[in-house]
Amino acid sequence: MLKFEDVYFAYAGGDTITGVSFEIGRGEFVALMGENGAGKSTLCRLCNGLLKPSSGRVAVCGCDTARTRTSALAKYVGFLFQNPDRQLCKNTVREEVELGLEYAVADKAERVRRRDAMLELFGLDGDREPFGLSRGERQKVALASVLAPEPDILVLDEPTTGLDYRECAAIMGVISRLNSAGTTILMVSHDMEVVSDFASRALVLNGGRLIGDGAVRETMRARRVMNEASLLPAQIPSLAMRIADLGAEYAGAFTVDEMVSAAANARGSARP
Amino acid sequence: MKGFLDYVDGNSVLHRLNPMTKLIISFGLCASCFLTQNHAVVAAIALFDLCLGALAGISRRSALIFISLLKLSAALFLLQVFFVRQGNILLVLPFGLRVTDAGVSFSALFALRLAAVTMPLSLMLSITRMSDIANVLVRYLGIPYKYAFVLTTAMRFIPLFTEEMAGIMEAQTARGVRFDTGNFFRKVRLLLPLCVPLLISSVRRIEVSAISAELRGFNLRGRSSGYKRYSFGANDAAALFICVMIIVASAMI
């Protein structure tokens, strides 16, 4: 679905992405992690042709992004920006959700069906003015308008930034359901709890280089990679590793349920 | 390249000049463009602006700005040249349009002036911090600080708005809006709805800045609260002398 082959990209100030290669298959949920300035947003922009690689090749659903217009790639790649306000430009939520469809779907009836389905999925009032909504609601509108054309790949640049727990859970719930239905997700996030709860694979960037690529569980336990990228694992795997360092058998716990189970087992084996 | 109004850090002889000297020189060069009716003099002033850019260590940036201005000047030249009726006819075109020698001369001077007048102001802003401009406006010209602050803040916001607009266009392109088309008129038509998010984000940003300034006691600031002093040295005297010579020469030629 998405393939980076030895990709380099440089802004005027110097190299930003250096020799990055990876491939993401259909239906994968991949988290992109790294400290600020590591090149995460740049890498995302390379995915839909907003930036073209200086050398190497980026292919989306078989299309070379260097030779395809970004607006043409929009039918394959949905891109949710960190700041939803940049995506909103219509007077009502309904018009906003329909905007992306105007370029992707020719049939009016089909556009209306998809628009209404999105409004229902996100529980949005189509008559509301987008800029009068809360930050979380605006993020939902932006996500609904990105999802309406039903792209094969969804690139999310820190979708939960600035959201409270309820808003975050609602947004991630929708994204997770889409992923279960086969949509490929590439998500930038600094929230390790969100990454550990939802992503199955992690890419770790540091200084524009890809220093880690593997299952989220393994990546979060790879102390060298996490340290090099200045990242802290989510709380449960972090706690499990700390306890494991003391000699107890908790190292495998990754979720709350697994930790509870490991604690119960440890308690059971400790009883006479 | 940074925005054409952004400050570029440096330690060149032009960077070290008194900000007031830089202001006087930039406005002096602008004035000299209007004092002369000679195309060669205006072109020479434009070249002098480029030399100043090289002296300030921003030759590439000033060349790029100059090229952009030349493109705009060329467009204005084409708009003007068909509508001046005086002079000898050089070319007759359909729809009653004609090109005259006076029209060519006037339009060329107009286009050259646009580039030569804008360059010194852009250079001055490239090598002078906004805070220094505000300070000298208050200290030497007696402008109330609030007005100087408004002026410098407005200048500071221009590159931010440019960046915001670029971000909005990027976001819309990613949604499938065809900003990456080569059709200029279609691009302009697509741009109009984007004024809404730009306006809203601008108002929000300005509101946050205003609240932040008030929270830091902006309204308590008096005239005497500025502490920075700017020396006036031999370099400033020499620069002003050269500027006066250019003004006098352009008025006489």
Task: Provide the pLDDT for residue A250.
Answer: 65
Q: Does A135 touch chain B (CB under 8 A)?
A: no
What pLDDT is attached to residue A228?
92
| Predicted local confidence at residue B22, as pLDDT | 93
Cβ neighbours for A236, distance < 8 A, ≥ 6 positions apart: A196, A253, A254, A255, A256, A258, A259
What's chain B's length in residues? 253
Q: Kindly state the tokens that stand for A79.
A: 């891109």
CB of A57 within 8 A of CB of A66? Answer: yes
- The A residues from 169 to 228 touching B (CB cutoff 8 Å) are none
CA distance B200 to chain A (A): 8
> A251 falls in which pLDDT band (50, 70, 90)?
low
User: Half-sphere exposure of B2 toward its Cβ, with a 13 Å CA cutoff?
Assistant: 16
Alpha helices in A181-249 (DSSP H): 192-198, 216-221, 223-228, 235-245
Domains in chain A: ranges and CATH: 2-216 (3.40.50.300)
d(CA B216, CA B210): 10
* A165 or A204, which is more confident: A204
Chain A CB contacts of B179 below 8 Å: 71
Residues of chain A with Cβ-Cβ distance to B170 below 8 Å are 45, 50, 86
**Six-digit token string for A261:** 């189970």
Q: Which residues contact A191 (CB under 8 A, 6 or more apart)?
A: A160, A168
Question: How confident is the model over B27-50, as pLDDT tens digits?
Answer: 999 999 999 888 999 999 999 999
B145 has pLDDT over 70: yes
pLDDT at B216: 85
Helix axes B195-215, B145-174, angle to 10 degrees: 140
In total, the C-beta contacts within 8 angstroms joining chain A to chain B are 69
pLDDT at A249: 66
Shortest Cα distance from A76 to chain B (angstroms)? 10
pLDDT tens for each residue of A110-160: 889 999 999 998 889 999 998 888 888 898 899 999 999 889 999 999 988
Q: Give the gap in angstroms from C-alpha A156 to the nearest C-alpha of chain B.
A: 12
pLDDT for position B51: 92
Q: What are the start-end ranges of the E strands in chain B?
A: 89-92, 98-100
Chain A CB contacts of B163 below 8 Å: none
Catalogue the long-range contacts made by A93-98 (C-beta closer than 8 Å, 24 or more residues apart): A93/A119, A93/A124, A93/A125, A93/A126, A93/A127, A93/A128, A93/A129, A93/A130, A93/A133, A93/A141, A94/A119, A94/A126, A94/A127, A96/A130, A96/A141, A96/A145, A97/A124, A97/A126, A97/A141, A97/A144, A97/A145, A97/A148, A98/A148
User: Is B208 touching A (CB cutoff 8 A)?
Assistant: no
